[in-house]
Structure 1
Amino acid sequence: MSTPPNEKYFEKVTCYHYYFITLLYLTKLPVFWHVLSLLFLAPPMEYTCKGATNGVDQCPCDEPVWNTSVFTKTMQTKFNLICENKWLFSFSQSMLFVGTLLGALSFGFLSDKYGRLLSFTISCLIVSLAGTLLVFMPTAPTFILVRCIEGWGVGGSIVTAYVLLVEYCGKGYREMVTALYHIPINISHLSLAGISYFLRNCDHFMLAISIPTILCVFLYCLTYESPKWLIDNEKYARATFVMQKIAKFNGDSPEEMKAEMEAYYAENNRTKHTKISFWEIFKYRKLTVYLLCMSLIYFTCGMGYYGVSQFIGKMSGDIHKNVAISGAVLIPGTIASAFLLKRLGRRTFLMTTTFLSGVGMIVVICIPKHLASVRVAMACVCNCFFFMSFIIVFLYGVELFPTSIRNSVLGFLSVLSRVGQIVAPPINALPETVSGAIFGAMAIIGSLLCYPLPETKNMELPTCLEDTNNLPRGIPTG
């Protein structure tokens, strides 16, 4: 089968790519603010009980007097979350993760059926509306319910935007673009601390991160649907229209592009391809092995990255400074990943980063406790390796599976990653030696599970089952 005209055209970076990628990168800033927002919606708060002579955070307490020297209004002060109700603000974060889990799964299926761009803009609309509604919720239970809906939109926007980006990129620069795609996430992490620094009222803070998210919806009017998705779903007229518009944007001939597309359709209609649904994966041994291996690797990356992040978050000091630093330390790892992906194969890179993060965690628990700064520094290195694993595993998962199930698979794998995030806090509640050993052992097991996977570097994104079956073990030279 010949290469589709859109993929040949996208082998070079065009003016439209700069325009499209810039817009898509900018959407990551407001979306990822919502992922970490609880850090400043429910920061550590002290109170004294009215009428008490001494002591702070006393229980029971009917009339708490809050220390508002740092934050003037938080989730705790708004809903009086103390003593027996204190668990509700951590539960709200768990419900956000439940929402992202459901959003990744449901929007993964929806985008495979109805398109990447439409699904992405709907999910961003949900994030913006739910985030704004949070301000007006009168009780903690209604707040938590809307928080789950907010997470639903966040999960959907993450998986749909990533696949949309990958399908627009040629194989020669796909790894660079997708690795650098995480830089806006790091900037979002950093800038969230700045927003909270100037807005110490949780309602004002929530409005500040929710209203800008509505701008992401305009991406639907400013860009086009993935041509690869359109072609593989036999929406030929729409695909031709999109490619003509992109050619015109770049100063190329729309008529020539139309002729190439029509010639490809004529040839493609004579070729039989096996298209499958997500549930048919288990009929095929290779796809089943790939899915099972990637599932455990995704789970490990989610558990390890968020688990080690929570360890670093226990450092004492100013909350705004700590959050900003924890975001900043990830930027070198993101930049390094962009360059290493150009040199290393997907399997080799993922196997190396997961193995090093696992060995690093074993080293952390072997360092004497009185060398606290050394332990924290080593944990930061491990966290960086876990984050690099996240960068490569997202790209790898997208490149392994054909178009008809690509977003569904990524949604499913993202669910496993979220489960890992949910499991991380209980593991961190165990003794340090035990939790560190679990993170380390799981990462080493994850590195071993990379071995059965094929190599996808320098390969076109698979369109059908036959393309996936033909993926090589080594890096193609062509």
Structure 2
Amino acid sequence: MLHIKNPVEKHFEKITRYHLYFYSLVFISQLPNCWHLLSIIFLSPTVDFYCNSTDGSSILKNKCPCNDPQWDKRVFTKTVQTKFGIYCDKKWLISFSESMTNVGTLLGASLFGMLSDKHGRLSMLSLSCFIVATSGCVVSIMPNIGSFIFMRCIEGLGAGGAMVTAYVLCIEYSGVNDRETVSALFHIPVTFSHITLPAVSYFLRDCNQFQLAISIPLYAFVTLTWLLLESPKWLMDNGRIDDAAMVMNKIAKFNKQPQSNIKAEIIEYNRTQNPASITKLNFFYIFKDKNLTTNFACMSWIYFVCGLGYYGVSEYISGMSKDIHRNVAISGMLILPGTLAAVILLKRLYRRTFLMSTCFLSGIFMIVVISTDASSTWMRLIMACICNCFFFLSFIIVFLYGVELFPTSIRNSVLGILSLMSRLGQIAAPPVVKSLSEITSGSVFGVTAILGAVTCFPLPETKGMELPSSLQHSKTLPRRKSMLEQSIMSAIGSKSS
């Protein structure tokens, strides 16, 4: 059957005025949203407390039991610990609070992924922003630690949903040639959230004021559903041809371009598709197809590895400096060059080659870190930062790769589940760092990253391909190896032997 190019992607081959307007608003919305994913660092930092000894002859620092602690408020005037009296045998509530926020994030990514496949990308993005803003404000007035943890979970639910829906929305507005650039640039707000959040905390040392400051700005992005247009690709692939044509005509009007007969193009495109292949799929259908099941299983492991490795190595780096504001800002600055490099590298390298390389190199550099003499502090710091940069690059690639492997009708659902796997890795990272020795935990991160590189091997290549609209399209993605992949596989094989 004659292949006709997807009419929406054909009209999106060039970046237009509307695209710049659209990307700008969506990207900016992710800056305060990502603040919420990192906020626990400044809501409950390590705070010292002092108690009188049993005989009253001396003052003891961080010693338990303690009946009436005097908190050190020189850096932070109010934190979760000082607000709710979290110390000694209650310290576990802080890590539990962080875990529940991550649970909310992974549930939000999955839930809103499925909802946006059913009800649309844009409306779910606006709803997610509303949930984050409202729950974030309510967090600041919670009267006890139980209600605080519950609202933090809801806050994470909205933040996870906002990130997934915003990302897929941006990718579906991108043409084949610009998809890599948009995917890499989407992570710039994530990076800037690392850099700017310490500044917010530096000027607002009270956890309640800090929480309100990062929450209220998100109310502005609830209006995105009125300021932007729904994904025409989602509309087209869900049979809403009139709505898709109307969106494309509004975009043409915004760009001051003549309106084309896009409706006829969409009808002709759908006519050339196999009717069975454009049937709306349920997420669980992927397990009925060998290729989709393989893709999903491989990507699930790689997402888990990226979450475990990136956040685990970040824990390593965070322990190398006592100034929390400077430490978080520097760690954000260190991944900025990698984010910018991804714009160029995604254009030049195949998806699978790039992902395999970054996983492999992050594993190698992590092994170098634990093999370097402990007295070489600066050398170990540099190696850890390079390792973290490669892990972050893996995140950038894997987000784009995951979107390109699955058809439109289940794309957000799959990305939500994959994001859940990433969050599971993030949840597992702190216990790995804190409960295992430095060499053992470093070995875990290094070995899992190298295994992630191996797991890339069965995946098809998607560079330069249209976003799959149907199951048949996803099944026919090419599977080929580059020379670099063969070299990496040979290196892995020689090391294992």
**Shorter-normalised TM range:** over 0.9
Match of residue 7, structure 1, among 6, 9, 18:
9
Secondary structure of 2:131's counterpart equals helix
Structure 1 CA distance for aligned equivalents of residues 7 and 257 of structure 2: 14
1:49 aligns with 2:51: yes
The residue number in structure 2 matching 1:33 is 35
Match of residue 17, structure 1, among 16, 19, 44:
19
Structure 2 CA distance for aligned equivalents of residues 200 and 94 of structure 1: 23
Give the alignment's Cα RMSD to 1 decimal: 1.4
Task: Give 1:3 shift.
Answer: 2.0
Match of residue 418, structure 1, among 423, 431, 438:
423
After superposition, the C-alpha distances for 1:215-262 in whole angstroms (9 at most, x for unaligned) are: 1111111101100000000011211111110000011123x2xx2322
Number of aligned residue pairs: 473
1:361 aligns with 2:366: yes
The answer for unaligned runs of 5 or more in structure 1 is none
Residues 355 and 267 (structure 1), Cα distance of their counterparts in 2 relative to 1, 3 Å cut: closer
Secondary structure of 1:182's counterpart equals helix
1:320 aligns with 2:325: yes
Structure 1 CA distance for aligned equivalents of residues 430 and 45 of structure 2: 17
Structure 2 CA distance for aligned equivalents of residues 88 and 475 of structure 1: 48
Decide whether the 8 Å contact of 2:236 with 2:266 is kept in 1. no
Secondary structure of 1:49's counterpart equals strand
Secondary structure of 2:5's counterpart equals coil
Structure 2 CA distance for aligned equivalents of residues 96 and 263 of structure 1: 45
After superposition, the C-alpha distances for 1:316-366 in whole angstroms (9 at most, x for unaligned) are: 321111110011000000011110001000000000000000111111111
After superposition, the C-alpha distances for 1:380-405 in whole angstroms (9 at most, x for unaligned) are: 11000000000000000000000011
Match of residue 97, structure 1, among 98, 102, 105:
102
Match of residue 159, structure 1, among 158, 164, 167:
164
Decide whether the 8 Å contact of 2:7 with 2:265 is kept in 1. no
Secondary structure of 2:473's counterpart equals helix
Q: Which amino acid aligns with 1:85?
A: K
What pairs with 1:212-231 in structure 2 (closer than 5 Å)? 212-231=217-236
TM-score normalized by the length of structure 1 = 0.97
Q: Which amino acid aligns with 1:209?
A: I
Structure 1 CA distance for aligned equivalents of residues 144 and 8 of structure 2: 51
The residue number in structure 2 matching 1:446 is 452
Task: Give 1:50 shift.
Answer: 5.7
Q: Which amino acid aligns with 2:97?
A: S
Decide whether the 8 Å contact of 1:456 with 1:475 is kept in 2. no
1:236 aligns with 2:238: no
1:59 aligns with 2:61: no
Structure 2 CA distance for aligned equivalents of residues 161 and 375 of structure 1: 36
TM-score normalized by the length of structure 2 = 0.93
Structure 2 CA distance for aligned equivalents of residues 141 and 183 of structure 1: 34
Structure 2 CA distance for aligned equivalents of residues 160 and 296 of structure 1: 22
Decide whether the 8 Å contact of 1:100 with 1:156 is kept in 2. yes
Structure 1 CA distance for aligned equivalents of residues 115 and 415 of structure 2: 12
Task: Give 1:301 shift.
Answer: 0.5
Match of residue 464, structure 2, among 435, 458, 462:
458
The residue number in structure 2 matching 1:437 is 443
Structure 2 CA distance for aligned equivalents of residues 60 and 9 of structure 1: 68
Structure 2 CA distance for aligned equivalents of residues 264 and 318 of structure 1: 57
What pairs with 1:5-404 in structure 2 (closer than 5 Å)? 5-49=7-51, 52=56, 53-254=58-259, 256=260, 259-269=261-271, 271=273, 272-274=275-277, 275=279, 276-404=281-409
Secondary structure of 2:321's counterpart equals coil
Decide whether the 8 Å contact of 1:457 with 1:475 is kept in 2. no
Secondary structure of 1:329's counterpart equals helix
Q: Which amino acid aligns with 2:476?
A: N
Q: Which amino acid aligns with 2:390?
A: F
The answer for unaligned runs of 5 or more in structure 2 is 483-497
Secondary structure of 2:60's counterpart equals coil
Structure 1 CA distance for aligned equivalents of residues 269 and 64 of structure 2: 75
Decide whether the 8 Å contact of 1:240 with 1:261 is kept in 2. yes
Structure 1 CA distance for aligned equivalents of residues 74 and 51 of structure 2: 17
Decide whether the 8 Å contact of 2:309 with 2:449 is kept in 1. yes
Structure 1 CA distance for aligned equivalents of residues 472 and 403 of structure 2: 16
Task: Give 1:270 shift.
Answer: 6.0
